[in-house]
């Protein structure tokens, strides 16, 4: 079963509007990644969060990690057509032995209308 849940699954916003995407884990988080994927293309790294309460920004995109809630949120300010795509969160959980593994959520499909 999927350990990560993203919400919403899809989102249509008007250009200039703000939006938030959430990523919730059923297991303890040891780190969280955000990636963006253009339709039919590869994955673009946005940012990595490692500590509870950590917040990072990249241009108009801000992400925060809430360790206690096992949740991360990604916020886009003043959305633009270039923000359209699929946003994926990836959570680091413990594998077997001393190794950790990275699993992803189902993704959020974002469309930005003019």
Partner 1 sequence: NAGVTQTPKFQVLKTGQSMTLQCAQDMNHEYMSWYRQDPGMGLRLIHYSVGAGITDQGEVPNGYNVSRSTTEDFPLRLLSAAPSQTSVYFCASSYSRLAGTYEQYFGPGTRLTVT
3-state class of 108 per DSSP? strand
CA distances from 106 to 6, 8, 9, 85, 113 (A): 6, 10, 8, 13, 23
Do the Cβ atoms of 59 and 74 come closer than 8 Å?
no
Write the CB contacts of 114 (distance below 8 Å, at least 6 apart in sequence).
14, 15, 81
Of the pair 71, 103, the CB lying nearest partner 1 is at 103
Straight-line distance from the first to the last Cα atom of the chain, in angstroms, rounded to the nearest whole number:
37
Span interacting with partner 1, options 13-21, 67-75, 77-85, 102-110, rule CB under 8 A: 102-110
Residue 45 lies near partner 1 (rule: CB under 8 A): yes
User: Is residue 77 close enough to count as binding partner 1 by CB under 8 A?
Assistant: no
Q: By CB under 8 A, name the one of 13, 30, 54, 56 that touches partner 1.
A: 30
* Interacting residue with partner 1 among 22, 31, 56, 64 (CB under 8 A): 31
Segment lying near partner 1 (by CB under 8 A), choices 12-20, 44-52, 56-64, 74-82: 44-52
Is residue 111 a contact partner of residue 11, using CB atoms and an 8 Å limit? yes
Residues engaged in binding partner 1 (CB under 8 A) = 2, 4, 6, 9, 30-33, 35, 42-43, 45, 48, 50, 88, 90, 92, 95-96, 98-107
């Amino acid at each position: 079963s999927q350990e990560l849940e993203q919400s919403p699954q899809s989102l249509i916003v008007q250009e200039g509007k703000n939006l938030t995407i959430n990523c919730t884990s059923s297991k303890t988080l040891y780190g969280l990644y955000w990636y963006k994927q253009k339709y039919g293309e590869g994955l673009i790294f946005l940012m990595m969060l490692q500590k509870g309460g950590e917040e990072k920004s990249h241009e108009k995109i801000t992400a925060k990690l809430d360790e206690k809630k096992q949740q991360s949120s990604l916020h886009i300010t003043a959305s633009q057509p270039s923000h359209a795509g699929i946003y994926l969160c990836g959570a680091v959980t413990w594998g077997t032995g001393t190794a950790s593994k990275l699993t992803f959520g189902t993704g959020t499909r974002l469309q930005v209308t003019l």
